[in-house]
Amino acid sequence: MNPPPEATYDDVDALKVACRRHVVAHLYSVTTKRSDYKMGVLLLHCDKSGTRDDRHGLTEETRQRPSSLVLTGCPFLL
């Protein structure tokens, strides 16, 4: 997965538009992980990042229905 090219943007909306164009062209997706516009912080991460948080002690063998949640642990963070 290729990260977007380095550039300087005038505002947060321009950054988001450029990032969305890049990820659509490379067939993946990013979401906002955390933002604080007053401090100038915007963290974008892959929508497949993270791991499954199994709160009920179920495994794939004991689960009655297959999960629609697909998390691959992708490390992409921008």
How far apart, in whole angstroms, are the C-alpha atoms of residue 5 and residue 17? 13
The DSSP secondary-structure symbol of 50 reads: S
pLDDT, tens only, 22-55: 888 888 888 888 888 777 778 887 877 777 777 7
3-state DSSP call for residue 24?
Answer: helix
How far apart, in whole angstroms, are the C-alpha atoms of residue 43 and residue 37? 11
Residues 31 and 44: beta-carbon distance below 8 Å: yes
pLDDT of 10 above 70 = yes
Kindly report the length of the chain: 78
For residue 2, which of 37, 20, 28 has the smallest C-alpha distance? 28
